[in-house]
Amino acid sequence: MQFIDLITQKNRIRAGLMQRLEAIVDHGQYIMGPEVLELEKQLADYVGTKHCVSCSSGTDALLMPLMAKGVGPGDAVLTTPFTFVATAEVISLVGATPVFVDVLPGTFNIDPALVAPAVQQARAKGLNPKALIPVDLFGLPADYERLEKVAAEQGLWILEDAAQGFGGTLNGRRAGSFGLVGATSFFPAKPLGCYGDGGAVFTNDDELDRVLRSVRVHGQGDGDDKYYNVRIGINGRLDSMQAAVLIEKLAIFDDELVERQRVADAYSVRLKDRLEVPGTPVGYTSSWAQYSVLASSTAERETIMGALQKDGIPSVIYYRIPLHLQKAYLGLGYAKGDFPVSEDFSARVFSLPMHPYLKEEEIDRICSVILSA
């Protein structure tokens, strides 16, 4: 059994995709070709923002807005320690300081009530809090209604990490559209993934869009001279073949989201009396990047994951070590006990196979192994 089945999906899109790839081989615009512009337009329409700037990974999609806004040494950027390392890594890469804020029990996402105290703590340390990066973990958008309010009160701008959330919604607004700017990843295992690395940034802000496009290509100026550089940037371009893959997959994405919801519902009905299953609060939909559950203890998690493995069923722990306890971040001075909810989740969480093509009989088999473990 696959944790994520990309082969069945590939068979579904293969014919159309091969035509597009052949066209690229023949037209020869391998970097920033017409497919990239077509994709950016489709993605902006889908997410509901004025602009979409595609780029070479989700990590670059998070990095580019920080660079474009001039975040740097002495600045603090707030985020959660219960996320993939890239969310905090980009803060460090621009020379700013990550300030962690614990997550809210029941959602895996940042707790809006803890943002203001974290801002005060950062100021007390002589840092200048600039931005907030909420993460739409496992596919569920963070609580942007409260976060946008608290960010405005605290003078922070929001960079949404929608690497896992792309496809999720909150009161009809799509993930990627929250805050000043949103970032997503097209890593193959993501709900919308390409066949390599890729990402995109979304914003309604014209000036930010202009600067992001410059940052994406080594800080080049607006004129025709591509060797005239006006700021420090990166090589963050998406290539035409990845754009073609994404165009084909976007066409079936809404249908796949329905199937992901079917799988999540089927798991939750069967497992809710044995494990803490993920909730979807009123007004939200999840893209179900992962279906993640909480065991009652680390020992129970080991027992269940062991039973699954014995039966040839893959399961994965996202994330075993919260970022404040990672070796790379010991220098920030945090200690065990600083973020109790994240630490508790890290000790008990694990994720089950999740993709749109998971069959009922496979779900039954996974659940019966768990229930009898």
Binding site for ligand PLP (CB under 6 A): 57-59, 83-84, 86-87, 135, 161, 163-164, 185, 187, 197, 199
- Which lies closer to ligand PLP via its Cβ, residue 49 or residue 87? 87
CB 138 → ligand PLP: shortest distance, Å? Answer: 9
Nearest distance in Å: CB 70, ligand PLP: 21
Interatomic CA distance for residues 352 and 358, integer angstroms = 11
User: Minimum distance from CB of 255 to ligand PLP (Å)?
Assistant: 23
**How many Cβ atoms from other residues are within 10 Å of residue 312's Cβ?**
9
CB of 198 to ligand PLP, least distance (A): 7
- Closest CB to ligand PLP among 176 and 199? 199
Q: Please say which residue, 83 or 203, places its beta carbon nearer to ligand PLP.
A: 83
Q: Between 108 and 157, whose beta carbon lies closer to ligand PLP?
A: 108
CB 274, min distance to ligand PLP, A: 27
DSSP letters for 72-122: -TTEEEEE-SSS-THHHHHHHHTT-EEEE-PBPTTTSSB-GGGHHHHHHHH
Which residue intervals of 48-76 are DSSP H helices? 58-68
User: Which residue's CB is nearer to ligand PLP, number 271 or number 354?
Assistant: 354
CA distances 76 to 116, 127, 250, 295, Å, are: 13, 6, 36, 34
- Which residue of this chain has its Cβ atom nearest to ligand PLP in the complex? 58
Residue 292, H or E segment: strand 291-294
- The residue type of 89 is E
Q: How far is the CB of 309 from ligand PLP (least distance, A)?
A: 23
Matching residue, tokens 């040839």: 312
Least distance between ligand PLP and beta carbon 193 (Å): 9
Q: For ligand PLP, which is the closer residue by CB, 266 or 329?
A: 329
User: How far apart are alpha carbons 293 and 277 in whole angstroms?
Assistant: 5
Which of 130, 146, 60, 62 has its CA nearest to residue 96? 130
CB atoms within 10 A of CB 61: 33
Query: What is the rounded distance in angstroms from the CA atom of residue 252 to the CA atom of residue 91?
Result: 34
Is the Cβ–Cβ distance between 170 and 283 less than 8 Å?
yes
CB-nearer residue toward ligand PLP: 169 or 185: 185
Question: Counting Cβ atoms within 10 Å, is residue 26 exposed (0-12), middle (13-18) or buried (19+)?
Answer: exposed
Tell me how far, at minimum, the Cβ of 351 lies from ligand PLP, in Å.
Answer: 12
CB 61 within 8 A of CB 199: yes
Give me the least distance between CB of 163 and ligand PLP, in Å please: 3
The nearer residue to ligand PLP, 64 or 208, going by C-beta atoms, is 64
What are the CA-CA distances from residue 86 to residues 117, 167, 181, 347 (Å)?
A: 24, 20, 17, 21
Is 164 or 346 the residue whose CB approaches ligand PLP more closely?
164
Q: Cis bond leading into 357, ω under 30°?
A: no
